[in-house]
């Protein structure tokens, strides 16, 4: 049981380049999230998808777009990368929509924009 | 809005020392509270949780009690090991909410 799988694990981009981070979960969960992790700032929510076909902005959505391709997959796109987007990105999925279930995380994508 | 505040790190302890990492929260309603742990190079994984006031979550020797009167969920361990070195995140999720709110994380170093 793979849980939440993210690709790639590492990426270096030049300023202005675009890329898509992929995330897939095999747990049949409805909700999926994208977070970024920066030193001293914890995890900040970029976008989330409460169910297939819906997406909503989180705390720090600027510079990003998302697609909930189907129930399994939730991708994050950087259209024109900036150095401020250097971060570690995590995809996560909670077990249920009720509040008492934890989120399951992917292993992260370490992105550097030069 | 909902928020989580946890003590700044890093925290450096010797093996077998007692650990406390403070966490307080602000939330409407009755959130569930979580502690996640992140080992180097890995994603976050659930350490323990508590879903209502006075509940105690425990796992791997770690404990935390949901204190509604002080809006706190402090993490404790009686005797830390080198293998406990990691970053610890306090988090909350509100009833019916889709979002999990995380604290900034506290890095723990345990010396042999």
How many Cα atoms are found within 13 Å in the side-chain-facing hemisphere of B42? 13
Mean pLDDT to the nearest integer, B62-78: 97
User: Which among B42, B97, B104 has the least Cβ separation from residue A41?
Assistant: B104
The pLDDT score that the predictor gives to residue B96 is 66
Nearest residue in chain B measured CA to CA from A30? B98
Neighbours of A10 (CB within 10 A): 9
Whether B46 has a pLDDT exceeding 90, the answer reads: yes
Residue B61 predicted with pLDDT over 60: yes
Using CA atoms, how far apart are residues A71 and B53, in angstroms rounded to an integer? 34
Give the pairing type, strands B11-14 and A103-105.
unpaired
The pLDDT of residue B101 is: 87
For residue B6, what are the contacts with CB-CB under 8 A and spacing of at least 6?
B21, B22, B23, B24, B88, B89, B90, B103, B104, B105, B106
Q: What is the mean pLDDT of chain B?
A: 93
Which residues in chain B are closer than 8 Å to A60, comparing Cβ atoms? none
Which regions of chain A are under pLDDT 50?
Answer: none
Cα(B72)–Cα(B22) distance, integer angstroms: 8
Tokens of A66: 């998302």
Residues B69-77 have a mean pLDDT of: 97
pLDDT over 60 at B23, yes or no: yes
Q: Which residues from A are below 8 Å from B93, CB to CB?
A: 94, 99-101
Cβ–Cβ < 8 Å for A58, A47: yes
Per-residue pLDDT, A41: 78
Strand partners for A19 = A78
């Amino acid at each position: 049981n793979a849980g939440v799988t993210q690709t790639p694990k590492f990426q270096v981009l030049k300023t202005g380049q675009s890329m898509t981070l992929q995330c897939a979960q095999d747990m049949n969960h409805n909700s999926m999230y994208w977070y970024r992790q920066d030193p001293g700032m914890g995890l900040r929510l970029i976008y989330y998808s409460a169910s297939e076909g819906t997406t909503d902005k989180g705390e720090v959505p600027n510079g990003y777009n998302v697609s909930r391709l189907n129930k399994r997959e939730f991708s994050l796109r950087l259209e024109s990368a900036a150095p401020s987007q250097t971060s570690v990105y995590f995809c996560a999925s909670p077990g249920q929509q009720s509040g008492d279930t934890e989120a399951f995380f992917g292993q992260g994508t370490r992105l550097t924009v030069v | 809005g909902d928020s989580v505040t946890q003590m700044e790190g890093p925290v450096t302890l010797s093996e077998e020392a007692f650990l406390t990492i403070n966490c307080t929260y602000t939330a409407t309603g009755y959130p569930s509270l979580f502690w996640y742990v992140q080992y180097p190079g890995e994603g976050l994984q659930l350490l323990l949780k508590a879903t209502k006031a006075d509940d105690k979550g425990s796992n791997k020797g770690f404990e935390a009690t949901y204190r509604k009167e002080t809006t706190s969920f402090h993490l404790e361990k009686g005797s830390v090991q080198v293998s406990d070195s990691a970053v610890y995140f306090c988090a909350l999720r509100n009833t019916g909410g889709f979002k999990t709110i995380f604290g900034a994380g506290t890095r723990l170093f345990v010396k042999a």
